[in-house]
Amino acid sequence: MTESQFSAKLLRALRQRLPTAVIWKLNDRFTSGIPDAVVVYKGRATWIECKVKNNPLTVIQFETLRRLHRGYLVRWDRNFGFYGHIPLIGRWSSYEGPFNFERLLEGLEMICKTP
């Protein structure tokens, strides 16, 4: 699965789980560090960066997610499954994983619904 396929699958599934949310795929080829997607649920934005195992997060992507305070990295690895990460100062803290796609969706839904 490519990063683009992973992102499309994830956003399709989140739209089904959160039908009242505004979910946008972001695409800006000229501004570095913008996350792949944003989910706005009841006025709260959750920012999501999707990666596949061999595609590293850049320093500017990490810093942007950290500054957004509700920024999350979700990573897919063919051999290990899905992981979710929360950016902290200078490092990543895993909130859970590995897990299957359904569990990833449950975790993201919970994050999006949490004030």
Q: What is the pLDDT of residue 80?
A: 74
For the residues 65-87, what does the mean pLDDT come to?
78
Q: What is the pLDDT of residue 43?
A: 95
Q: How many structural domains is the chain composed of?
A: 1
pTM of the model: 0.85
Range of the structural domain that residue 12 is part of: 3-113
| DSSP annotation string for the chain | --HHHHHHHHHHHHHHH-TTSEEEE---SSSTT--SEEEEETTEEEEEEEEETTSPPPHHHHHHHHHHSSEEEEEEETTTEEEEEEEETTEEEEEEEEE-HHHHHHHHHHHHH--
Examine the pLDDT at 75 and tell me if it is beyond 60. yes
For residue 69, name the pLDDT band (cuts at 50, 70, 90). confident
CATH number at residue 101: 3.40.1350.10
How confident is the model over 8-67, as pLDDT tens digits? 999 999 999 999 999 999 988 788 889 999 999 999 999 999 988 778 888 898 888 888
